Amino acid sequence: MVVHLGKQCHSPGTHSLWQNVTFHRAIRRIDVLNSMTNQWFVASELHPVVASARGPMSDLVLYTHPFSRARIAHWALEETGQTWQARLVPLGEHRTPDFLALNPMGKIPTLVHGDVVVTEAPAICAYLADAFPEAGLAPAPADRGAYYRWLFFAAACIEHAMFDKENDQLRDKQRGAIGYGTFEQVVDTIEAAITPGPWVLGERFSAADVYLGSQLEWGTRLMPHIERRPAFDAYLARCTAREAYQRASERTDALAAQLEG
């Protein structure tokens, strides 16, 4: 079943993916999503120019849920400029044999590109940057030192530090044994990395910003474990002003609104 989400108008005041959805609305929408099975959502239908140039279907398929880390992959896919399809995986169906055959972890997002299966949001960001070099989401291989550094730092340190802080899991004697050190070190390192900016690689936007920006927005706005700082607000303002980010946000809002209605 193909759900037609309708055309969305760009608005300079478009809120972020996470700011648009309060916790209670998210829970209500998840209840609606869980009542649906095996639905297909073709994102290209919201972008007639891309759809007409490349056709309405694509060999890029993202297994997704609107309230998951898959939103990071949504943004990365929009940055490529490619037509892609989103297949909704309601909660509970991520443990079915068919889905586990794609991703034995039963986790979302999972990207299928032809015969290639990619899991883990940062890996999807890196894969898309390499698969579609014309999008300019990664430097040349010889210039990728900082790119790899910050992409893997965001993946290995930020989320783990936030959850450990939330659950108060670490004792002082354990801090030297974990990869990120302390929560405070992680936050200070992020601030230093994006200063003076505009991006983590300086003047060049990359897939590392997609992942780092997503993690930072989650940590400062939806699940505010990270204190707001001027450098963070300025960086996120630049991220959320990108057309690809706003398209992903608009499409997510349209999908959620239609499901809720």
Query: 150: burial class by Cβ within 10 Å (0-12, 13-18, 19+)?
Result: buried
Q: Smallest Cα–Cα separation from 76: which of 21, 138, 26, 33?
A: 138
Domains identified in the chain, total number? 2
Question: In this structure, is residue 10 part of a structural domain?
Answer: no
Q: Which domain holds residue 217?
A: 141-243
Cβ–Cβ under 8 Å, residues 65 and 33: yes
Question: In this structure, is residue 112 part of a structural domain?
Answer: yes
The answer to whether residues 30 and 149 belong to one domain is no
The answer to whether residues 221 and 254 belong to one domain is no
Question: In this structure, is residue 147 part of a structural domain?
Answer: yes
Q: What is the CATH number of the domain that holds 167?
A: 1.20.1050.10
Question: In this structure, is residue 4 part of a structural domain?
Answer: no
The answer to whether residues 118 and 170 belong to one domain is no
Question: In this structure, is residue 151 part of a structural domain?
Answer: yes
Residue 19 phi/psi, 5-degree rounding, is -70, -30
The answer to whether residues 131 and 147 belong to one domain is no
Please list the pLDDT of the chain residue by residue as tens digits (261 residues): 233 222 333 333 333 443 443 333 333 333 333 333 333 333 333 322 233 223 345 799 999 888 888 999 999 999 999 999 988 887 778 889 999 999 999 999 999 999 999 999 999 999 999 999 999 999 999 999 999 999 999 999 998 888 877 776 655 556 666 777 888 999 999 999 999 999 999 999 999 999 999 999 999 988 788 999 999 999 999 999 999 999 998 877 766 665 565
Q: What is the CATH number of the domain that holds 42?
A: 3.40.30.10
Question: How long a stretch of residues is the chain?
Answer: 261
Question: In this structure, is residue 3 part of a structural domain?
Answer: no
The answer to whether residues 159 and 207 belong to one domain is yes
pTM exceeds 0.85 for this model: no
Q: Is the peptide bond before 141 cis (omega within 30 degrees of 0)?
A: no
The answer to whether residues 226 and 148 belong to one domain is yes
| Cα of 156 vs its chain's centroid, Å | 15
Question: In this structure, is residue 206 part of a structural domain?
Answer: yes
pLDDT score of 175: 61
The answer to whether residues 128 and 256 belong to one domain is yes
- Starting at the edge strand that comes first in sequence, how are the strands of the sheet with 110-113 ordered? 40-42, 85-88, 60-64, 110-113, 116-119
Q: Which element (helix H / strand E) includes 64?
A: strand 60-64
The answer to whether residues 64 and 122 belong to one domain is yes
